[in-house]
Structure 1
Amino acid sequence: MITLNDYLYDGDTIFRILQKYIDDLKKSAKENQNEIDRIHSHFLIQIRELLEHNDFLTAQSQKIREFYKYMAKEYPYLAFTFKGRIKSLIRAEEKFNSYVMEYIYEYYSEHQVYPPVSELKKKLSCFRDLIAYRIVISMPKCHFKSEQERRDAELNCLYEIANVLPEFLEERGFTAEPANGVQESCSSLLNPEVKPYYRDYVSNHEENEYQSLHITFYDNSSRSYMEVQLRTKMMDDVAEIGAANHRVYEKKQEKERRKRNQIPKGECLYFDEAYERGMRLLELDLSKLDVNMFSAVDNRLINDGCGLYRGRLILPYEHLSRFQNDLID
């Protein structure tokens, strides 16, 4: 079985690693009549094209920047950041394999038979967050008498921005995708006409305290999907360095993935291969990898300039509030 891990120790660039992995998956798919390996290779081609940062990403980020300028004008006392990132190769590989496992596991648990390959192929065509933008807002404390007052103002502002965003981007060539009832908002602050498009992890609290508003758009000019996340600074801190950060999330996922009792080994090739690939990725010692432009002291201190682990940054903007600018003057 071919895994991404097999290519991470030869000192190649990330693009050579991807090309070798794609070519070998295609060859294996043809030799073994493995439809999932074929879809897997096509998925990796998407990642490679994104990491190459084609012209459409520049055009797309410039359209997103228009919303940045709108916010700077409409909310002069609000501090905020805009960031855009392409999903990293390792995270994308993890997600592809987890989709394979989760769908087979759920289908088998319900029907006691394995899903047809045609159904599994449909499931693997639903990646919508390979490109993700994040807007993080913060109200300066000096404007409020209490911390609760500030948090309430930030939350009102967050939903106000969420109400405006879909129409703003649709006027610039994007189409909002329905959330199909996933994490449907129960907040009265979100307008009824935009509510069907948002996955609301703010009004629907997660067990790990994760909070954010998510919405997916289709970019009609580049024919690609992108996700936009809206958060306050406090929400972002919890997600990035608090209880909901990725390391905690990954540990939880690791425990779940090891629970494969319902799928007997050797009965479903697609599950077995996806499970093995996922486990090998989770066990990576990043400090021992040899990937051009990537270095890691250990699995916590990571410097990634190539899109292998943290993804590739495509949009960094920071806006200070008028109050903060006044201090600088």
Structure 2
Amino acid sequence: MKKLNDYLYAGDTVLKILQRYSEDLKRSAKETHNQIDLVHCNFLLQIAELWQHNDFLASQSQRIREFYKHMANDYPFLAFTFKGRIKSLIRAEAKFNGYIVEYIYDYYSEHGDYPSLPELKNALNCFRDLIAYRIVISLPKCHLKAGEICADEEIKYLYEVANQLLDFLEERGFTAELSSLKGQKKSPLLHESVSPYYKDYIANSEPNGYRSLHITFYDNIARCYIEVQLRTKEMDDFAEIGPANHLGYEKKQESERARRDVIPQGENIYFDDAYERGIILQQLELAKLDVNMFSAMDNSLINDGCGLYRGRLILPYEHLSRFQNDLID
């Protein structure tokens, strides 16, 4: 069985690692007639294509930047950031194998049998966040009117921005995808015309307190999906450095992907392979890896210049709020 771990110690670039891993995985999949490994191989090639096609990334980020300019014009008093990234190779590999483990485990728990190959392949057609953008807004307290509560006003502005985003991007070659969040409460601040497209984790906060708005678009020019997240600074702090931080989220996912108590070993090759790949990936000692443009002191102190672990940054824009006395009534 081919594993990403086996390619992380030769000093190669991330693109070389992707090329070698996908080529060897494809060769092995053909020899063993493993169709899920072929799907896996195509997934890796998709990541490699995202990383190499700088022209389409430049086009996409430029169209996203137009919304940034629109916000700077309409909301000069807000502070906000636009950030974009391509999911890291290690994170993407863990997520792909994790989906296989979770889907087969849940299916077996419910039905006492394994999903068919077409069902499993269809379940893996779910990756929409390999490219993700995040808009974070903040309202400086000097701009509050008497009696206003900052958090409430920021949420109002956040929904305003969300209401404008869909039509703005659809006019520039993006198509919004319907939300897969079932039975969600609807905020009265989100327009009826755009509500079906948003996963509203503000009106429907997660058990850990995570709050955000998520929407998925298909970029018809670049021919790829992107996810856009919208948060206030308070929500972003809670998600990045607070109780809902990504490390905790990853630990929860690792725990879910380490389940195999109801799945007998040796009965399902797709589950066994994905489970093993996921487990050994969790056990990586990052300080021992030899990947070009990546170094780590340990599993916390990491300097990643290639998107191996942290993700590849593709869009940093920051807008500082204008001073109160600069505003024109």
TM-score range, shorter chain: over 0.9
- The answer for unaligned runs of 5 or more in structure 2 is none
Aligned-pair Cα RMSD in Å: 1.7
Amino acid at match of 1:179: S
Paired amino acid for 1:136: V
Aligned pair in 2 of structure 1 residues 141, 271: CA closer, same or farther (>3 Å)?
same
1:47 equivalent in structure 2: 47
Q: How does 1:270-285 map to 2 (within 5 A)?
A: 270-285=270-285
Q: Which residue of 1 aligns with 2:70?
A: 70
Q: How does 1:239-254 map to 2 (within 5 A)?
A: 239-254=239-254
Which runs of 4 or more aligned residues in structure 1 lie more than 6 Å from their structure 2 counterparts after TM superposition? 145-148
AA at the equivalent of 2:258: R
User: How far did residue 298 of structure 1 move?
Assistant: 1.1
Deviation at 1:262, TM superposition (A): 1.1
How much has 1:295 moved relative to structure 2?
Answer: 0.7
Residues 164-210 of structure 1: CA distance to partner in whole angstroms, max 9, x if unpaired?
Answer: 10001001111000013447342111111111000111111112221
The question of whether the paired residues in 1 share the 8 Å contact of 2:143 and 2:324 is answered with no
Distance in 2, matches of 1:233 and 1:190, equals 19
Asked whether the equivalents of residues 135 and 230 of structure 2 are also in contact (C-alpha less than 8 Å), the reply is: yes
Aligned to 1:226: 226
- Is the CA contact (8 Å cut-off) linking 2:142 and 2:324 kept in structure 1? no
Q: Do 2:175 and 2:220's aligned partners in 1 also have CA atoms closer than 8 Å? A: yes
The residue that corresponds to 2:116 in the other structure is: 116
TM normalised by structure 2 equals: 0.96
Structure 2 vs 1, CA of residues 9 and 70 (structure 1 numbering), >3 Å: closer, same or farther? same
Alignment TM-score, normalising by the size of structure 1: 0.96
* 2:176 and 2:216 in contact (8 A); partners too: yes
Residue of structure 1 equivalent to 2:313: 313
- CA distance in 2 between counterparts of 1:18 and 1:140 reads 44
Give runs of aligned pairs for residues 85-96 of structure 1, distance below 5 A. 85-96=85-96
| Paired position in structure 2 for 1:322 | 322
Q: Decide whether the 8 Å contact of 2:102 with 2:256 is kept in 1.
A: no
1:53 to partner: Cα distance: 4.1
Rounded Cα–Cα distance in structure 1 between residues aligned with 2:34 and 2:146: 60
2:24: which partner in 1? 24
For residues 196-237 of structure 1, give each alpha carbon's deviation from its aligned partner in whole angstroms, at most 9, with x where no partner exists.
000111111112221110000011111111000000011111
Could you say if the C-alpha distance between residues 102 and 207 of structure 1 is closer, same or farther in structure 2, counting changes exceeding 3 Å?
A: same
Which amino acid in structure 2 is aligned with residue 106 of structure 1? D
**Partner residue in 2 for 1:59:** 59
2:149 corresponds to which residue?
149
Q: State the match for 1:161 in structure 2.
A: 161
**Deviation at residue 323 of structure 1 after TM alignment:** 1.6
Residue 44 of structure 1 aligns to a residue whose secondary structure is: helix
Change (3 A) 1:285 1:124: same
1:178 to 1:2, Cα distance in 2 relative to 1, 3 A: same
- C-alpha distance in 1 between matches for 2:220 and 2:183: 25
User: Which runs of structure 2 are paired with 1:199-210 in the superposition (5 Å)?
Assistant: 199-210=199-210
Q: How does 1:182-193 map to 2 (within 5 A)?
A: 182=182, 184-193=184-193
> Counterpart of 2:48 in structure 1: which amino acid?
R
1:46-103 Cα distance to aligned partner (Å, 9 max, x none): 1111122431110000000000000001111100000010011011101100111111
Matched, 1:178 2:178: yes
Note if contact 2:286-2:296 (Cα within 8 Å) is conserved in structure 1: yes
- Residue 211 of structure 1 is matched in structure 2 by 211
Count of aligned pairs: 327
1:145–1:97 distance in 2 versus 1, CA, 3 Å: same
SS at 1:322 equivalent: coil
Contact 1:184 1:195 in 2 (8 A): no
Residue 217 of structure 2: SS of its match in structure 1? strand
CA–CA distance in 2 between the matches of 1:58 and 1:220?
Answer: 15
Task: State the shift of 1:143 in Å.
Answer: 2.5
Give, in whole Å, the separation in 1 of the partners of 2:262 and 2:186. 35
The residue type equivalent to 2:278 in the other structure is G
Q: CA deviation at 1:258?
A: 2.4
Structure 2 distance, partners of 1:158, 1:168, is 15
Runs of 5+ unmatched residues, structure 1: none
CA contact (8 A) 1:200 1:214 kept: yes
Indicate the SS of the match to 2:132. Answer: strand
1:145 offset after TM fit, Å? 6.8
